[in-house]
Homo-oligomer: A and B are copies of this chain.
Amino acid sequence: MQAPLIKVAEKAGFCFGVKRAVRMAYDAASSCSGPVYTLGPLIHNPQVVERLKGMGIDVCDNYEELPPGATVIIRSHGVPLEVLEFLRSRGVRIIDATCPFVKKAQDIVATLTNSEYHVVIVGDGNHPEVKALLSYGKGRASIFPHVPDGVLKLGVVSQTTQLLEKFIECIKWLIGHREFQEVRIYNTVCQSTAERQKECKRLAQEADLVIVVGGRNSAGAKKLWVVASEEVEAYHIEVAEELNPSWFLGKRVIGITAGASTPEWIISEVVEEVKRITGGKVDGRG
Contacts and interface: CB of A to CB of B under 8 A. Distances in A.
Interface in A179-201: 180-187
A182 B187 contact: yes
Interface stretch (A54-62, A167-175, A244-252): A167-175
A168 B178 CA distance: 10
Copy tally for this chain in the complex stands at: 2
A187 B180 CA distance: 7
A197 to B, nearest CB: 14
* Interface residue SS majority, chain A: mixed
A176 interface: yes
A172 B174 CA distance: 10
Contact of A183 (B176, B181, B184): B184
A53 to B, nearest CB: 39
B184 A184 contact: yes
Nearest to A155: B184
Q: Lowest 5 CB-CB distances: which A-B pairs, in order?
A: A183-B185, A172-B172, A184-B184, A171-B175, A182-B186
Given A172-B172, A175-B185, A184-B184, 11 more contacts: A168-B176, A172-B175, A180-B185, A181-B186, A181-B187, A182-B184, A182-B185, A182-B186, A182-B187, A183-B185, A184-B185
